[in-house]
Structure 1
Amino acid sequence: MFSPIIRQIDLANSLTLTGLVLSLISVFLAVNGHYNEAVICMMYAGIIDLFDGLVAKKISRTELQSEVGKQLDSIVDVCSFGFAPAIFAYCFGLKDLLSIAVLIFYLATNALRLAYFNTTGLMNEGSEQYYTGLPVTYAALFIPLAFTARFALPDETMKFILDGVYLLLALAMIGNFKMLKLRGVWYGIFALGAIALTAVYGWVSTVGIYF
């Protein structure tokens, strides 16, 4: 007989765990200086986070699997979009006191935002649903996008840019504004965007040329 813990691994929860594994691989790559590959893994952890919820709504699951999935998703989110991006930035060179303060603030707001969302959920207005502040998953979009500036700028300049990006993300996560929950065609747009960015990063990594 399988453990009751193991029996909670349905398709949706398996996807969530896959995102966690990708985030760990992202950290391993960053520690070893493979930054382009690290942001690709970070990005796909974000794509998986978009789709695991969609899968959860489409499949048949027990009440316990659903409740475990909610807890698992939150734990994985703070690892994938809090710890992993912070470690990535530190490995890239954000090691001065100001940068460390920014990363601490980023991680703290990430965890706080997730705890708040777990308590309050989404706001409903008519047929639309809204988040309060920026969902943490968007870090997996904005950090890879911002990091493409490295193709044209020296690493020392990139460190200042990343300081700004992480600070803005942290402020947006705890911001007092409504953000529409995207669905439908946006899932396909994000997936295509991830494929396009993967092609760009893959080409640069292969050619080894920065503009």
Structure 2
Amino acid sequence: MLRYLLDPANAITASGMILSGVALSLVTDGRIELAVAVALWAMLADHLDGIVARRIRNRSEAAAKMGKSLDGFSDLIYGAVFPSIALLQLHGVTLLSAAVGTTLLVAGALRLSYFGITGLSTDRCFTGLPLSYDVPILALLVLAEPFVQQPLFSWLLPGTFATLAALHVSSIRVPAPTRSMYIAIVLFSVAASAALSIRALFFA
């Protein structure tokens, strides 16, 4: 099984899963800013593996199938499991946060299962909001927390992720990222990750 990780795209996917594991460890330890900073890099790895996979010549069918399966697990971890746990840490374990977190997990699994069957449409659009939007939105919320008064922030968190869960399983059509969008995603992720890390390390 490990030989499939010699495939460059699969190696990137596995690296993203490792980053997701680090992010989960940090968030359960209450180090929210650093956890989200690492999760942003896990999200970037998810974008990069697809780009690399499309550029590999003579890629074996077995490696491609393994990559598709790995990618789905990676998406679920950083795009649904991590935000759900972060929500519980930020909001506290309440009936509301537990319900929203569980809903996000189910919505994420449904979204990925549906995509596994249908893929992109002929005009290169996703059906439902991809899970890759969750971590950047979480990063914005965490960055904004010091400037948002309570109890507004406590309601903003579950409300945002309940909305995201609904959008994941909706019929809205979301265009696949273009080259300029990929550049914007990378720039945002690097800047947000740096800001979160600096705040965690120097202003905690």
Common fold: TM-score over 0.5: yes
Q: Does 1:162 align with 2:157?
A: yes
Superposition CA RMSD, Å: 1.6
The equivalent of 2:170 in structure 1 is 175
Count of paired positions: 202
Where do 1:72-91 residues align within 5 Å? 72-91=70-89
1:42–1:155 distance in 2 versus 1, CA, 3 Å? farther
The equivalent of 1:24 in structure 2 is 21
Q: Does 1:7 align with 2:12?
A: no
The equivalent of 1:142 in structure 2 is 137
Code of the aligned partner of 1:118? G
Q: Does 1:122 align with 2:120?
A: yes
- Report deviation, 1:205: 2.2
Deviations 1:130-160 (A, max 9, x none): 0001001111211111221112135754332
Which 4+ residue blocks in structure 1 deviate beyond 6 angstroms?
none
The equivalent of 2:199 in structure 1 is 204
SS in 1 for 2:122: strand
Code of the aligned partner of 1:85? P
SS in 1 for 2:92: coil
| Percentage of identical aligned residues | 29
- Report deviation, 1:92: 2.5
5+ residue gaps, structure 2, are none
Which residue of 51, 69, 77 corresponds with 1:71? Answer: 69
8 Å CA contact retained: 2:127, 2:173: yes
SS in 2 for 1:131: strand
Code of the aligned partner of 1:182? P
8 Å CA contact retained: 1:94, 1:163: no
- Report deviation, 1:21: 1.1
How far apart, CA to CA, are the structure 1 residues paired with 2:152 and 2:31?
Answer: 18
Deviations 1:30-81 (A, max 9, x none): 1111110011111111111111100011123211101110111011111121
8 Å CA contact retained: 2:36, 2:193: no
- Report deviation, 1:200: 1.8
How far apart, CA to CA, are the structure 2 residues paired with 1:80 and 1:201?
Answer: 17
SS in 1 for 2:42: helix
- Report deviation, 1:206: 3.5
5+ residue gaps, structure 1, are none
Please, what TM-score do these two structures have when normalized by structure 1? 0.90
The equivalent of 1:50 in structure 2 is 47
The equivalent of 1:34 in structure 2 is 31
How far apart, CA to CA, are the structure 1 residues paired with 2:39 and 2:155?
Answer: 20
Code of the aligned partner of 1:55? V
